[in-house]
Structure 1
Amino acid sequence: MVQILTMSIPVYAYEVFSNWNDAENYIYENMINREDKIKFVFKGDKDNFVLNLKSSLKEAYSQDDYLERSWTQIKPEAYNINEGIETTLNIKYLCSKEQENYIDKELMNITDNIINDDMSDFDKVKAINNYIINRYEYDYDLKSVSVYSSLTTSKAVCQGYSMTAYKMFNNAGIENRIVIGTASGISHSWNIVKIDEKWYQIDITNNDSENINKYFLVNDQFLIDNDYIWDRNMYPSCDERYSKIN
């Protein structure tokens, strides 16, 4: 909850914004850099400030599926001052900036080692699916929730699988999303990938635990038939199963 207090204090080295689009971009860039205190002054229209702040914050971290799942807590503070509304976002992340740098370097090295330009998009997706299955084992203690802990312990929950895949697919030039929903009534995340202008479902977590190809490039209906639920309005439709799996 955001409560606006009234204070009279000078502003030192704060970014000042008069519209929410600029504030949103500023929040996004700072979250990418894992800043734990994001400060700015808003001097635009103060009507509905709280609602607009919440909306801009959500728009900022929703620009990237990985970023959206990289924070654990956001506590806003807001004060009325002479120049406008001084705002501070206090944020806790899954990983520090140093850990994210390690993740980026490690996953880029891995991707470079298993992917080459002569491979088709299908072959790239298959290689990444197989690599993650061989690298990780499911963490039944449910402690390894970040990509950093997944890489350093080789144990992961679904979030570690799907976020690792998201980064590696991006490195390989494969458009993809992280899907949030449930499987058999339990919170779950997985990916969708785009191959030859069509979207396909891929759940590497359950490929690891069940069968390497069971949830590989399947359609929406297959997941529905296997007790998956997600907000289908939030993601592209996956209408077909990939027909060239071998």
Structure 2
Amino acid sequence: MKFSIRTQALKISVALTLLTGTIVTGVPPLSVIPTAHAATVSLTQQQQQLQKQIYSALTARKASFQITYEGSTEQLEQNIELAFDDANVQDPYTINTVIDYAWQAESDGTTSTAIMDVTYRESAEQSAYVHKQVAAALKKIIKPGMNDHLKVKAIHDWVVTTLKYDETEQKFTAYEGLTTGSTVCQGYAMLTYDMLKQAGFETNIVAGYVNKEEAHAWNMVKLDGKWYHLDTTWDDPTPDGGKTFSTDYYLLTNTQLKQDHRWKMDDYPQAVTSYNKTVNALVAKGVKGAKDLRSSLAGNSEK
């Protein structure tokens, strides 16, 4: 009987890939992984079933669970990595609750069995609380007759005026942000993701860097068929400005954002459309609220 132990940690690296075989220490606590290649891999029915098992356990925030795979422990390892990639494609919010995971696997030469242990930042109950609070907030800020452009702006404004940046850098989740009033970029991105998702938008969480080597997270959102970057953390002044905030990082292109942000562009949708041009076109068409929207993006805004 073959016995092996594998330990893994989720970490941002220059290549934004999963690191295997070690627990990494002294790393900024940003538990995000890339979103691209899992969706492009042709999977067998068995691999798909394994992914469903792992995804189900993660969404339930199970701390320990067993998985079985018809194959070697090496093959199981590869498919566990694919499963975590797939989980991130399906639900970046859930993956951002994961701090690290480890497993012990044994094989009889045909079948491999592994016990997985996962550490989370946010429990299932805490995530449910966030989801409920987000739903309540959306009912208040999304007004009848609002178009999608106004909805995204309302979500952005609510996040940056509700949260303030945790300068102690000890709070990392949306739950902590809502219950204590402060969190770091990971919590901002998680909350923004849940709000956009519940409002019906296609969105994701981007893992990257700012200030050369500082790990950072922000969002992308698809609006009228075009993708844009949205960094609610960097639109929130430090120290906190209360109801005053910036729109400097609101719906930017890759070219605009890469002036001070770094990320593996191939892992995410391409953002190539100037939002200023988009808003000007809305104004020219006489779209309701477009003029006010353009004015609010001209500089810092005050609600």
Normalised-by-shorter TM-score class: 0.7 to 0.9
In structure 2, the residue matched to 1:136 is 163
**Against the structure 1 CA distance between its residues 45 and 133, is the aligned structure 2 distance closer, same or farther, given a 3 Å change threshold?**
same
Structure 1 stretches of at least 4 aligned residues deviating more than 3 Å after TM superposition: none
**Against the structure 1 CA distance between its residues 188 and 82, is the aligned structure 2 distance closer, same or farther, given a 3 Å change threshold?**
closer
Identify which of 168, 187, 194 aligns with 2:215. Answer: 187
Instruction: Provide the secondary structure at the position in 2 that maps to 1:41.
Output: strand
In structure 1, the residue matched to 2:128 is 101
Shift of 1:83: 8.2
Paired-residue identity, % = 26
Cα distance between partner residues in 1 of 2:82 and 2:235: 36
Q: 1:35 aligned to 2:68?
A: no
Shift of 1:180: 0.9
Cα deviations by residue, 1:23-63 (Å, 9 ceiling, x for unpaired): 11111011111111121222x23273244343333234323
In structure 2, the residue matched to 1:8 is none
Letter in 2 for 1:239: V
Shift of 1:125: 0.7
Shift of 1:188: 0.8
Q: TM-score, normalised by structure 2?
A: 0.71
Which residues of structure 2 form unaligned runs of 5+? 6-44, 239-244, 280-293, 296-303
Instruction: Provide the secondary structure at the position in 2 that maps to 1:208.
Output: coil
Instruction: Provide the secondary structure at the position in 2 that maps to 1:166.
Output: helix
Shift of 1:205: 0.6
Instruction: Provide the secondary structure at the position in 2 that maps to 1:221.
Output: helix
Instruction: Provide the secondary structure at the position in 1 that maps to 2:273.
Output: coil
Q: TM-score, normalised by structure 1?
A: 0.87
Contact 1:200 1:240 in 2 (8 A): yes
Letter in 2 for 1:58: F
Contact 1:21 1:56 in 2 (8 A): no
Cα deviations by residue, 1:193-241 (Å, 9 ceiling, x for unpaired): 111111111111111127521111121111122x211100011111122
In structure 2, the residue matched to 1:223 is 257
In structure 2, the residue matched to 1:242 is 275
Shift of 1:81: 5.1
Higher alpha-carbon deviation: 210-219 or 75-84: 75-84
Letter in 2 for 1:54: I
Cα distance between partner residues in 1 of 2:97 and 2:171: 13
Between 1 and 2, higher relative CO (CA 8 Å, sep ≥ 6) is seen in 2
Letter in 1 for 2:266: N
Cα distance between partner residues in 2 of 1:122 and 1:194: 11
Cα distance between partner residues in 2 of 1:47 and 1:38: 17
**Against the structure 1 CA distance between its residues 56 and 199, is the aligned structure 2 distance closer, same or farther, given a 3 Å change threshold?**
closer
Identify which of 202, 221, 231 aligns with 1:175. Answer: 202
**Against the structure 1 CA distance between its residues 122 and 85, is the aligned structure 2 distance closer, same or farther, given a 3 Å change threshold?**
same
Cα distance between partner residues in 2 of 1:216 and 1:103: 23
Higher alpha-carbon deviation: 76-85 or 129-138: 76-85
Cα distance between partner residues in 1 of 2:255 and 2:177: 30
Which residues of structure 1 form unaligned runs of 5+? 6-17
In structure 2, the residue matched to 1:4 is 4
Contact 2:73 2:106 in 1 (8 A): no
Instruction: Provide the secondary structure at the position in 2 that maps to 1:177.
Output: strand
- Aligned-residue Cα RMSD (Å) equals 2.2
Letter in 2 for 1:218: L
Q: 1:90 aligned to 2:117?
A: yes
Instruction: Provide the secondary structure at the position in 2 that maps to 1:207.
Output: coil
Instruction: Provide the secondary structure at the position in 2 that maps to 1:87.
Output: strand
Cα distance between partner residues in 1 of 2:271 and 2:85: 25
**Against the structure 1 CA distance between its residues 53 and 206, is the aligned structure 2 distance closer, same or farther, given a 3 Å change threshold?**
same
Cα distance between partner residues in 1 of 2:3 and 2:119: 20
In structure 1, the residue matched to 2:234 is 206
